[in-house]
Structure 1
């Protein structure tokens, strides 16, 4: 497996600073900066600062398993020659490859030679094992029969960047362990693998599993296939508590809300407004052929993004209000709402609720509260 280059801020630094007074070389030395914690199978960035060194400097860096190990026992080493312009300080950086198999506790030894200057120092550091984090993400957590399962796979390195690789195998199993789909030698594109799988019309229900297999391990990601249950919702109808006998119209607001609080936008709505059965129609004098007005009127609307719709009802269309109702001092208007949500649920849901407004000269008071039970859930209407 190719080594990964790790970059980023050096929060923990290993510093080696040597000064030599031998043969009159005062304040000469070097400073090596490196991560205090290394990660196996990565390429780390080391930097050197030379102090008052001239001409060329030969640098050797060793990763040793023990404090007293010789350079022959090193698990990794690097030798470079740098030309120092001096006498001012000069910085150079280079990459150091940490092997995949390295001891957890190691020692970093640096040796610098430049002319008559020679020094070797070492310091202890930690080496963490090389690990990859493989993430498998599906577009949904639950599916129903006939759905298309879309998923993607990404492997992150220690610096949280996506890794380019070829995955040995990806396969999908049913709750019973039967393998229904398989992809071999899948290469990443920009560090990501994207695949899809079509469920049949009668798939086994339960927990399915996506398996991502590489040479050293298998990562599993489950998803659920369940029998689809239509979402429950409740309907509220808001209208005036009282309607005066001089009123010509009344505004009603109907709202549909899922039980988890979200609105139901774009729902086809059918509103039935009817006059009470206790209404008595009196024919006008000398007009025996006059027929009573319609007892109800139906409105077909669609809810807005907030799951609501406002409807203006002309009372004369159901024989209430205006001249026709001057002799009617009190009556009731019954509203019924039927919602069809086929575009959202894949089927029809019929729910009926009611709201009553009292017609008369009274302007205050309370309206009766009505509840109804639909699809096994209690719906409360205010």
Structure 2
């Protein structure tokens, strides 16, 4: 158990540090420490770590997360060692909205007992989604090449699925669409041909997430416009929007 590693990242903080009733000497008095993220993201790996020290008897250890009307057992164990450190992974399912949850830790033995209940914040995870076209301006008859990239909040590739991807012309007509688009390795590439006489102006690639959130990335179609040769990132989730050139 001593080989368990502390959870990393800036969202980790010391949630509980209490002395348990027992020996009066400050160096040998039973105590425990609990580490959890102060912000827990849904549908992603999280971890709770508990350390017990200077125990003088066997105890039962339990940790329960109360969230969305359910009690989720994270730890239920009997500890007989004097000093123990262990980390347990867990996940929290998505809810209709972000809300508070409560973590209850109970340490109980023949002569000692301690219970504490603290609140943590649970937030639905949101991916970072970007759309990239191979250039910002196209001429009639050319093929528009674009790709969709999805990353989690730690900027790792995310194999997300999108309910609908479609192209809007300058008159807001839907001229092309794809349904149930799945990403492989956090990426998918799509394309569609422009007609020889398309409506000129600004077009939009619209990506619709399964949650119903839409994001858009624009490009232009011009008969005699100057063609761009560089790619642009565009789009984001909610109010998050980025535009990066390379």
Q: Same fold per TM (> 0.5)?
A: yes
| Aligned positions, number | 216
**How far does residue 207 in structure 1 lie from its aligned partner after superposition?**
0.8
**How far does residue 120 in structure 1 lie from its aligned partner after superposition?**
1.0
Partner of 1:247: none
Partner of 2:237: none
Superposed, 1:193-212 pairs within 5 Å as: 193-212=188-207
Partner of 1:153: 148
Q: Aligned to 2:88, which of 86, 94, 97?
A: 94
Higher helix share: 1
Uncovered stretches (5+) of structure 2, i.e. residues with no partner: 1-6, 228-246
- The separation in 1 between residues aligned to 2:8 and 2:23, in whole angstroms, is 40
Uncovered stretches (5+) of structure 1, i.e. residues with no partner: 1-6, 66-73, 232-382
Q: Aligned to 2:54, which of 49, 52, 55?
A: 52
Q: Tell whether 2:140 aligns with 1:138.
A: no
Q: Tell whether 2:215 aligns with 1:219.
A: yes
**Would you say the 8 A contact 1:169–1:213 is kept in 2?**
yes
1:82-112 deviations in whole A, cap 9, x for unaligned? 454622x321111232342265344322222
Q: Aligned to 1:37, which of 36, 39, 49?
A: 39
**How far does residue 16 in structure 1 lie from its aligned partner after superposition?**
1.3
Partner of 1:324: none
Superposed, 1:105-184 pairs within 5 Å as: 105-184=100-179
Secondary structure of 2:45's counterpart equals strand
**Would you say the 8 A contact 1:76–1:98 is kept in 2?**
no
> Considering only aligned residues, what root-mean-square deviation do their CA atoms show, in Å?
2.9
**How far does residue 59 in structure 1 lie from its aligned partner after superposition?**
1.4
- The separation in 2 between residues aligned to 1:223 and 1:115, in whole angstroms, is 71
Secondary structure of 2:172's counterpart equals coil
Superposed, 1:238-249 pairs within 5 Å as: none
**Would you say the 8 A contact 1:10–1:34 is kept in 2?**
no
Partner of 1:311: none
- The separation in 2 between residues aligned to 1:115 and 1:164, in whole angstroms, is 50
- The separation in 1 between residues aligned to 2:132 and 2:81, in whole angstroms, is 55
- The separation in 1 between residues aligned to 2:142 and 2:101, in whole angstroms, is 53
User: Which has the higher Rg, Structure 1 or Structure 2?
Assistant: 1
Bigger RCO of structures 1 and 2 (CA < 8 A, at least 6 apart): 2
**Would you say the 8 A contact 1:14–1:123 is kept in 2?**
no
- The separation in 1 between residues aligned to 2:18 and 2:153, in whole angstroms, is 33
Partner of 1:62: 65
**How far does residue 209 in structure 1 lie from its aligned partner after superposition?**
1.2
Partner of 2:21: 21
Partner of 1:9: 9
- The separation in 1 between residues aligned to 2:200 and 2:106, in whole angstroms, is 66
1:215-246 deviations in whole A, cap 9, x for unaligned? 32222211111123469xxxxxxxxxxxxxxx
- The separation in 1 between residues aligned to 2:224 and 2:109, in whole angstroms, is 77
Partner of 1:186: 181
Q: Compute the TM-score of the two structures, normalised by the length of structure 2.
A: 0.74
Secondary structure of 1:42's counterpart equals coil
